[in-house]
Structure 1
Amino acid sequence: MGTGIRRAGQSDRAALVRLLEEAFDDDPVSHWIFPDVDHRHRALGLFLGAFTDIALAEGRVDLMEDGTAMALWLQVPSGRPEEEDDTPARMRALADPDNERVELVGRLTGAIHPHDRAHEYLLMIAVSPEHQGRGRGRALIEPVLERCDREGVPAYLEASSTRSRGLYERLGFIFTGTTVDLPGGPHLWPMWREPRGF
């Protein structure tokens, strides 16, 4: 592939959000949250920017040096949080206050997120449309999974399409058995990966 991976920082934020917008413009979940095309083009960047800010502040963003792909990761500790997570409400307030779907998707995914073991959470991955299907997503994920295997740490994600689910299955993720069903919309497939060798 000929391109390296580096850790992104705050100075990369605008480029990260643009890449997310390009990659998720056709995503089924994006279409469900923002069914109107014009409104989606206005609000999607605000919505995805909130995810970017969370990963930059609390996790890690891996970026291909040529800017064509990125992955947002969070380390999730074991145990349920003592307080209710207000992230979905904050994201709605930031991105699209009148759109309850912005908050609902976060509440539904949060309700089924596993808390019994610490794990790496692939919050989101984005590959520019012209580079999709060329192994960039896999190249971003594999180094983290190799580290998970060395350290005995599981990984978790929610696949938003059958295509991405297939990639994650090839990387060792297994569907947990219960979909996240967005009302009148698409499904998300929660997927868990046990570290190999443990």
Structure 2
Amino acid sequence: MGVAIRTAGVADRELIVRLLDEAFQDDPVSGWVFPGTAERRAKHPGLMAAFTDIVLASGRVDVTEDGSACALWLSMPAEDGRGGDGAADAGEDEGPAQVRQAVDPDNARIEQIGRLTAAIHPSGRAHEYLWMIGVAPGRQGEGLGTALIGSVLDRCDREGLPAYLEASNARSCKLYERLGFEQAGPVLELPDGPVMWPMWREPRTTRTA
């Protein structure tokens, strides 16, 4: 039986925030942004809400029909028109600072993680960017994440679009490799923290009968 997937709307905001918060509470990167357990429990939902609002406004959120998993996607253009490199553009982008201000102005790592990931983001080719994917803890291992990602990758293959993501743990890297992603350049080493794996997937040629 297939997994029923739909596009989320503003009415699904609280569901998406809750899913992401539960899925990433124990993630290494979330633990780096919010090192203290009590602080993470209190402030992590706000960060997930900020991410959700950005993607609901500018991208696409897919959610399983039963509300157990979601994926946040942004369609990235080929060029931004400024001709700069990723690091320069990241330095000019006020988005990370705005997220920090909205969530926790005293936590520099909220802004830092946004700038560091922006600096390594590939430019030059249009692609689909998987920002985050969250599966309810009790439903992990059922193939929900694979179904969510696969629905977009099928479209990427039809349209000849690459896809990109940053994996936040080694276990998820294995899943993405099975879906055709490969490591794209050096890992991102967070200061005094874990690493993230930038991963890129070239579109697969659609076979015809």
TM-score scaled by length of structure 1: 0.97
Cα pair 2:16 2:70 within 8 Å, conserved: yes
Q: Take 2:177 and 2:137, find their aligned partners in 1: how far apart are those partners?
A: 21
C-alpha contact (below 8 Å) 1:60/1:74 kept by paired residues: yes
- The aligned residue for residue 72 of structure 1 is 72
1:181 and 2:189 are equivalent in the alignment: yes
Instruction: Please report how far the alpha carbon of residue 177 of structure 1 lies from its aligned counterpart in structure 2 after TM superposition.
Output: 2.5
Q: Which position in structure 1 is the counterpart of 2:93?
A: 85
Deviations 1:136-182 (A, max 9, x none): 10000001001000000000000000011100000000001311111
- CA RMSD between the two structures: 1.3
Structure 2 partner of 1:190: 198
Give the secondary-structure state (helix, strand or coil) at the position aligned to 2:97.
Answer: helix
- Alpha-carbon distance, 1:85 to partner: 1.5
Match of 2:130 among 115, 122, 131: 122
Q: Percent identity?
A: 59
Distance 1:147 1:58, change over 3 A: same
State how far apart, in whole Å, the 2-side matches of 1:111 and 1:177 are: 12
1:53 & 1:96 partners in 2: Cα distance? 16
Deviation for aligned residue 1:13: 0.4
Structure 2: segments with no counterpart, 5+ residues: 83-88
Cα offset for 1:81?
5.8
| Matched residue count | 198
What amino acid is aligned across from residue 166 of structure 1 in structure 2? K
- Between the aligned partners of 2:25 and 2:177, the Cα distance in structure 1 is 24
Q: Which runs of 4+ in 1 moved over 6 A?
A: none
d(CA) in 1 for partners of 2:190 and 2:177? Answer: 22
SS of 2:19 mapped into structure 1: helix
Deviates more, 1:65-74 or 1:177-186: 177-186
- Structure 1 residue runs of 5 or longer lacking an equivalent are none
Taking structure 2 as the reference length, what is the TM-score of the superposition?
Answer: 0.92
- Cα distance between partner residues in 2 of 1:148 and 1:26: 31
Query: How many angstroms apart in 2 are the aligned matches of 1:21 and 1:129?
Result: 10
